[in-house]
A and B are shown apart, each in its own frame.
Chain A
Amino acid sequence: MLRSMKLQLAIAFLFAGTAYPGGSSPPDLAISWVQPGTLTGTAGETAQIRYLIRNVGGTDAFAVISRIGTTLGPIAPARTQPGPEAGKSLERKLALALAVGMRELCIDVTLQNIAIDDSPDPNPKNNRACRPVVVQEPK
């Protein structure tokens, strides 16, 4: 029982995080496409994709990791430092080599803090954007 209470206290401490200047809210990331909709192309082509990482929180984001996944597998993650300032957006570009079997594209953004005690992203539900992909075989 004592151990359990100690762990609960430790977790509460971790989630409480550090206080932000002026009592402002922590960084809160959201992602969206610049041009949403189905991505179409031919296998072998490289699609240029733009997306926005928005910080709707009250504190600047230290850094952001973007993890890209398609039905063909993950693509090496990209790190953006500094992350978007409070209330602002950063536009990022992705060059995606299209291939047969690629039917969905998703990007997940994860906040990277300086210290483990910093608050995590308070609303991770808007940290993923997905869109359908239609790839035709070359003629």
Chain B
Amino acid sequence: MTGGGALQLLERSLELDPGFAPAWQAFALAHYGLASSCGEDATHYEKALNGIRRAVKLHPDMPSAMALEATVLAESGRIEEAYESLIRRKRDGAVACDIDYAASTVLSYAGYLDPARRKLDSVLRADPQYLAIGGWTPSIHLYESEPDRFLRYLPAAETASFRYYRGYAQLLQGKIPAARESLGPAFRLNPHDVFARLSAALLDTVEGRPVEALEVLRGLERQRRAVGSTDGALTYKLAQLYERAGDSDSALESLGRAVDQGFFCTPCFAGDPLWNSVRSKAKFTDAFRRAESRHRAFGKRFGFLASSGSGQGAQ
């Protein structure tokens, strides 16, 4: 069923019972998917937030809705607000997988990779199947440039996004044929998924077609601008792919935009060897400084020890 068809059914469900919080949560998740994966316009994030707020109003202790709210806020660039919403709602020390996984995501955006990893570890100790059931990825390990660990925890799902992540990690491991095998079928799984096109561009770079890769990336970037997409982590992926395709100017433009959109993960930039050839360029140092400034402010506000690019954090 397409996203639109699912939404129609959910709207009908809500007409029948507007007091059913899980239906509002599902409605929010469907809108989130349209903005996050399907490349549709950013108003779906607002609709997702509205759905979440209806769900939480009906059922104030609904961790999945709270976690989705934080994820939507993070992908909209509101990282501090996202983390604030999570700590406000989790006052005790008990593990709540949805909340801790969302916290791991938000902390990754902010560049606090050690605490982000600890959050994910606690989720997986409490529920080893959490990622597979929810369709989530252990992204923190990719941000740490730990592809072995990332692949160990990545669910064996067959979607465009999972194939993209698997292929990217396999490239980091130097397993080129395996990466080709992962990326090749991704586009046909769902041609309208943003990750299908990222996979196509990554495959082009692997197979020595940088011109084609750049055209795919430019097309995706135009579409994202047209619909107002503001997920800094996705913009960072574009930056990485531009650099892989040999267009450092576009890569640095995208890197700067990713920072401005709320992906200020300084240890990610410092630890990724992809950036080694451009570290001394003014656009890189400017972006890094802006990221570091927000990274430090985030740490000060929430009690984390800011890193100077090494990814060390307290708490």
Binding site for B on A (CB under 8 A): 3-4, 6-7, 10-11, 14, 67, 69-74, 99-101, 103-104, 106, 108, 110, 116, 120, 124, 128, 130, 137
Contacts and interface: CB of A to CB of B under 8 A. Distances in A.
B20 A3 contact: yes
A10 B200 contact: no
Nearest 10 CB-CB pairs, A to B?
A: A101-B215, A69-B191, A106-B191, A71-B200, A72-B219, A73-B219, A101-B212, A10-B16, A130-B188, A104-B187
A6 B71 CA distance: 29
A103 B2 contact: no
Contact of A7 (B22, B188, B215): B22
Nearest to B203: A103
Contacts of B201: 71
Nearest to A107: B191
Interface residues on B, range: 20 to 34
A103 B20 contact: no
Contacts of B214: 101
A61 to B, nearest CB: 15
A104 B12 contact: no
B192 interface: yes
Contacts of A11: 9, 13
A76 B245 CA distance: 28
B8 A116 contact: yes
Given A103-B200, A130-B191, A73 B220 contact: yes
Given A74-B191, A128-B191, 10 more contacts: A3-B17, A6-B16, A7-B13, A11-B13, A14-B12, A71-B216, A72-B216, A100-B215, A103-B204, A104-B200
A108 B190 CA distance: 9
A100 B219 CA distance: 11
Given A101-B219, A116-B12, A69 B192 contact: yes
Please report whether the interface of chain A is mostly helix, strand, loop or mixed according to DSSP: mixed
Nearest to B8: A116
A72 B215 CA distance: 7
A101 B191 contact: no
B187 A99 contact: no
B223 interface: yes
Interface in B3-45: 5, 8-9, 12-13, 16-17, 19-20, 22-23, 39
A121 B187 CA distance: 23
B1 A106 contact: no
A100 B214 CA distance: 10
Nearest to B220: A73
Contacts of B213: 101
A130 B22 CA distance: 36
Interface string B274-288: 000000000000000
B163 interface: no
Contacts of A14: 9, 12-13
A135 B253 CA distance: 28
Contacts of A67: 192
Contacts of B216: 71-72, 101
A10 B197 contact: no
Given A116-B8, A120-B5, A104 B191 contact: yes
